Amino acid sequence: MHFGILHPQLIKQSPILNYYMSVKIYTTPSCVYCKMAKEFFKKNNIEYQELNVALDEKAREDMIQRSHQLGVPVIEINDQVFVGFNRLEIEKALKGLA
């Protein structure tokens, strides 16, 4: 993925949820919770767009505008924003989309 340009939202169909959704994860390379979030989505066959805010200034600005803070990960599922990786809250949100 090229980090200099934000790509259009990825709309994918999850085999588990059978629902069209857009998932973005704003990350940094050293973030342990970012890695946990990415592993969670991979394990559940949910495709996501990763935006490295350490390298991509535009992505960092977008993340701050959406979450009003600097911490990562910030996870967007459609229009819902989650600050940090709270597996239970994310599972609850995903089940609500099914």
CB contact set of 23 (below 8 Å; sequence gap of 6+)? 10, 12, 41, 46, 47, 48, 49, 75, 76, 77
Residue 56 has a pLDDT of 97
Decide if pLDDT at 17 tops 60: no
Q: Is residue 70 part of a domain?
A: yes
Specify the number of domains making up the chain: 1
Structural domain boundaries enclosing 17: 12-97
Decide if pLDDT at 14 tops 50: no
For 61, other C-beta atoms within 10 Å of its C-beta total 11
CB 37 within 8 A of CB 91: no
Model pLDDT for residues 29-79, shown as the tens digit of each residue: 999 999 999 999 999 999 999 999 999 999 999 999 999 999 999 999 988
Q: Is residue 34 part of a domain?
A: yes
Task: Look at the chain and count its residues.
Answer: 98
Does the pTM of the predicted model rise above 0.85?
Answer: no
Which secondary-structure segment (H or E) carries 77? Answer: strand 74-77
Please report, for the domain that includes residue 91, its CATH number: 3.40.30.10
Q: Is residue 50 part of a domain?
A: yes
Q: Is residue 58 part of a domain?
A: yes
For 56, other C-beta atoms within 10 Å of its C-beta total 19
Q: Is residue 4 part of a domain?
A: no
Which DSSP letter does residue 31 get?
-
